[in-house]
Structures are given as structure tokens and as C-alpha cells.
Amino acid sequence: MVSRSLLSPVAAAHYPKSTGDFLAWFGSDVDCLDYLEWLRWPDGFVCPRCGKSGGWPIRDGRFCCAACEARTSVTAGTIFDRTRTPLTVWFHACWLFATSKDGVSAQSLQRTLEIGSYQTAWAMLHRLRAALLRPGMDLLSGRVQVDETYIGGDEPGLRGGRARGKKVLTAIAVEMHEPRGLGRCRIAPIADGSAASLHAFIIDHIEPGTTVVTDAWQGYRGLDRIGYVHERHSQRAARAREEDPDDLLPGVHRVAALAKRWLLGTHQGSVDVAHLPNYMNEFVFRFNRRRSGSRGLLFYRLLQLAVDHDPVRYRELIANPERLPTPRRPPTGRGRPPSVERPPANRPWRVPTDVRV
């Protein structure tokens, strides 16, 4: 039998094709839990403690390892570890996150799902964002433009001119398709515009041998000595090519403009510097999948990343007490959001693929 982890997921069987499917499938917490189990252990239970396969479900919903007898719940060691929020509410949040083109703000998530406090909604979204980027992701390749820009912070004059956050220097890289069009992008904060910072960003995100297109800034010097083909665009060279000398790197500037517009739109610019990398994770995830026709498949990928990701504790999210999320109105009480449970589903994801018609 072929490992299920190697097969492509199928719409309407492995992931919901529509909101109708979504509502029909995930009406109860046990259905959600079963789906997470199916995603986390595609070829059956694998013990996270000893790494051996094989075990059986026990009465409290956990699994008992056949080798070491350790007991593990499906959500233990994932983004959903020890959550007090019902899985139906989590799934709804994931569905909204994956299916809305520009994502969802904490405020609108709180309102839509009647989540008791702004902080809970805020932390749910940050846990999802943290799960989006994995180390060892595919590196950019082909022909890649790189530049640095400041992102984030409240724009002057916006909503009474709050000046809570400062802007963060970030490096942006984007693949340039021939003759035109953009491929995948990466955005990450950098300490400064030095060669050390910029070279490290390029090594982390771009395949060796790639043509890296930059402006004439000295921080990019020496890229040819670390395995890249370096193409420097200076203003003089742009004039010689009859290109706009003020827009040497139109690809990265387009990505930067989209990222800034997204922060101002979906999140109304109220993004804290400490969490900017997390928001950029989300932007990059959306940008790199902007041509994906299936939002249901994004939902599947999101949950797959969430069960593969280590827990993110609230304490870690608010590591700096000055950076607590600002509630838009006083919390209406902590604790469990109301459940949105409905009758159990027939679990189409459990139907073996070869029996389908």
C-alpha cells in the first residue's frame, strides 16, 4: 500500500471543497479531532516519545504506544496543545483564515465566532501565523530581485496618529519570471543593511547559483564570491537601458507595496513591531499561493502545518509585556468561547481512496 502522505489530497474527500462541505464535515469536536488525527498520522499512530509506529486509542481519546506505553493526545505537541478553545471554533478560524483572500483580523475573528476576549482571538491567529513558515522551505531560484525596505509601524496621520510601533527594516526577495510576472517571495527582518545581514538573508532564502539582482548598495558586494551570479542595477545603467532610474527593482517594490497595503487594509496598520515577522509569514504564505484556485486546499495545508508545528505558548507570544495586544473593548471574560457544535459528520476523509467512485 502506498503511504497516504505521498498522495495528493482530493477535493471534497480529503479537504472541503466549499463552505457547505466545511459545515457538514466539522460540526463537532470529535469530528475535528478525528480529522487532525488523520492529518497528523497519515499512516497510523506514531509515538512522539519513542518514534515507533503502532498503538491503540484509549477511552479518554488519547493513544497508547504499543512500544513504550506513553499516552499521547492527538493535539499534544501541536499548535492546538492544551487549548481551551473548542476545536470547532479553531476549525472555523482556520477556515476563515484560509478562505478569505486577505485573511482576517483578530477583531473580526472575535466578533464572528463570539470569542470571549480579543486576546484569545489575537493569540489564535498568531499561533496559525507561526505555523506557516517552516525551516527548510524551498529556496527561491531562477532570477531573483532583492532589496531592503522599512515595513510596519503606524502611518503618520492614521487614526489619530498613534505612534506605538516603529518601522522594521526588512529584506525582500522575489522571483522574476520571463518575460514578465512575479514568482514566489520571501520577507524577513534584518538587523541592518550591512553585507553580513544581507548575505545571511540571501543564503537563507535563495538557491546558490541563482542570478541575484540588486541595486548598487555596497551591502550586496561579494555575492559572486558566495556562489551567486550578481547583477547590479545602477541608476546610470538603467538610464542606458532606457528604464526608469527611480524604479531599478520593480518586482521587490511591488511586493513591498502589496505587503504595506495588506497591513493597512486587513489589520488597519495596527501591527506591533514585535509581531511583524509573524504578519510577514502570513503575507508571504498568501502571496505565494495567490494563484491557488482552491481555498479548501489552503485550509488543508494550514491544518497540516498546524499539527506539524510545536506548541506556541501565550507567554511566548507576549514575551515583552509592553507589547500586549490592545483590546478594542474590555474583555467580556476569559475561558471557553461558546461551542458551535452540530451533529456528527460521516467523515468522507476516512473513506479509502480506491473505494471512491
Tell me: does residue 65 bind Zn ion (CB under 5 A).
yes
Rounded-to-integer distance, Cα 136 and Cα 123, Å:
25
Contacting residue, 39, 47, 125, 280, with Zn ion by CB under 5 A: 47
* Binding region for Zn ion (CB under 5 A) out of 33-41, 63-71, 74-82, 211-219: 63-71
Residue 177 grid cell: 519570471
Cβ(159)–Cβ(145) below 8 Å: no
Residues in binding contact with Zn ion, number by CB under 5 A: 7
Residue 144 grid cell: 531573483
Q: Between 64 and 238, whose beta carbon lies closer to Zn ion? A: 64
Q: Between 72 and 117, whose beta carbon lies closer to Zn ion? A: 72
Tell me: does residue 49 bind Zn ion (CB under 5 A).
yes
Give which of 210, 150, 145, 212 is closest to 180, Cα–Cα. 145
* Binding region for Zn ion (CB under 5 A) out of 20-28, 70-78, 166-174, 175-183: 70-78
Q: Are strands 71-72 and 143-151 parallel, antiparallel or unpaired?
A: unpaired
Q: Between 77 and 344, whose beta carbon lies closer to Zn ion? A: 77
C-alpha angle 223/229/234, rounded to 5°?
75
* Binding region for Zn ion (CB under 5 A) out of 39-47, 170-178, 235-243, 296-304: 39-47
Rounded-to-integer distance, Cα 3 and Cα 236, Å:
56
Tell me: does residue 67 bind Zn ion (CB under 5 A).
yes
Contacting residue, 50, 158, 229, 324, with Zn ion by CB under 5 A: 50
Cβ(81)–Cβ(311) below 8 Å: yes
Q: Between 32 and 47, whose beta carbon lies closer to Zn ion? A: 47
Min dist CB 49 to Zn ion, Å, is 5
Min dist CB 60 to Zn ion, Å, is 17
User: How many Å is the maximal CA-CA distance in the chain?
Assistant: 74
Rounded-to-integer distance, Cα 307 and Cα 81, Å:
9
Min dist CB 71 to Zn ion, Å, is 9
Contacting residue, 10, 11, 33, 70, with Zn ion by CB under 5 A: 70
DSSP secondary structure of 286-304:
HHHTTT-S-HHHHHHHHHH
Rounded-to-integer distance, Cα 87 and Cα 143, Å:
43
Min dist CB 77 to Zn ion, Å, is 13
Q: Which residues bind Zn ion (CB under 5 A)?
A: 47, 49-50, 65, 67-68, 70
